[in-house]
Amino acid sequence: MKITLKQSIIISFVALSVLIGCSKNSGTQEPPDQQNPPEFPATPNNDPKRIIAAVLLISEPICCGITSYDTINFSYDNEDRIISQVSDHGRTIVDYHYTNDIITAMDYQTSHGKASVLDSYYYSAAGDTIIWNFHTPNYEFGGMDTASKTYIFRKGLLSETFIKVHPAQSLPFTVQFLNEIDTLGNMIKTTSINQNGADSPQPISSTVDKWDDKFNPFLSDSKFNMICLTVLHSTATGSVHIPTGGKIFGYYSEASITHDEEGYPVKFTRLSNSETFLTLIYNK
């Protein structure tokens, strides 16, 4: 389901001029509290460290003729749950609504206004299986597009994703992602299985042989946060350590990661062409 948005934001800056008068008595000094104003310690930020925005590569010259980036911003509630996801390019703008710690409604912003799109949902007792069923009006061709997304977690990692989309005016298609994880919790293989209409399924497998050895900010106590963050890195939520090297479509690909002083990843760069494809911004 393609969501578009035309946004216009007007930012106003107000300049404030302050005039300071001086006494005619040249021997008069400023009060001590103005000479040396008291210093107050900064209020510590006790919030957990989390991704609040990311700059994501969305197209490259090799496929689209230009290099294009998008910035995606995340907002959290007081319980550290993602409640909104906003794309600067308007590709994804959604609000999440919770009831008793589960998502029970989603609002998508489109060029035609805001629409509630979550028809129904299922959550297993242990919370390891999540199913969302959606609908979206097809403003271009008419009718209603429908979709279903299934997420399966094993040992706290996203191990299987199944997406079925049925556009109003065309045949349905499905995409399934299966992650194979070793005993250390690291992803060693991921397989995507695509099927259009009645065509035979087309499986494509990728193998992983290198991982980052520092913090993985894509993992969270909230499975909903992990699902939301897959828009930035499709495999990071399925592995204890972030995959950095492996064979994709028969070709070897490797990325380097720049970390901050605490060991959190900040910049992801593809070694083959020195292209930065992901930059993460944290709340602290």
Does 161 have pLDDT greater than 70? yes
pLDDT of 91-135, one tens digit each?
A: 668 999 999 889 999 998 877 778 889 999 999 999 999 999 999
Of the pLDDT bands very low, low, confident and very high (cuts 50, 70, 90), residue 205 is very high
* pLDDT at 84 exceeding the cut of 80: yes
Whether the per-residue pLDDT at 148 is higher than 70: the answer is yes
pLDDT of 7 above 90:
no
What confidence score (pLDDT) does residue 243 get?
97
* Calpha distance 232→72 (Å, rounded): 9
In 3D space, the residue among 170, 150, 168, 169 whose CA is nearest the CA of residue 160 turns out to be: 150
Mean pLDDT along residues 178-205: 91
User: Rounded mean pLDDT of 86-90?
Assistant: 83
pLDDT value for 3: 38
Indicate if the pLDDT at residue 43 is higher than 70: no
Of the chain, the percentage scoring pLDDT greater than 70 comes to 81
Q: What are the structural domains of the chain?
A: 46-282 (2.40.160.150)
**pLDDT above 90 coverage of the chain, percent:** 61
* pLDDT computed for residue 269 by the predictor: 97
Mean pLDDT of 168-194: 93
Q: 9-18, 78-87, 148-157: which has the minimum mean pLDDT? A: 9-18
Pairwise CA distance, residues 71 & 9, whole Å? 15
Please spell the DSSP secondary structure of the chain, one letter per residue.
-----------------------S-TT----HHHHSPPP-PPPP--SPP-EEEEEEEEE-HHHHSS-EEEEEEEEE-TTS-EEEEEETTSS-EEEEEEETTEEEEEEEEETTEEEE-EEEEEE-TTS-EEEEEEEEE-TTT-SEEEEEEEEEEETTEEEEEEEEEE-TTS--EEEEEEEEE-TTS-EEEEEEEEEETTSPPEEEEEEEEEE--S--TT--S-HHHHHHHTTT-TTGGGSSS-EEEEEETTEEEEEEEEE-TTS-EEEEEETTTTEEEEEEEE--
Q: Is the pLDDT of residue 10 over 70?
A: no
Give the pLDDT band (50/70/90) at residue 62: low
**Mean pLDDT throughout 127-156?**
91
Q: What is the pLDDT of residue 90?
A: 67
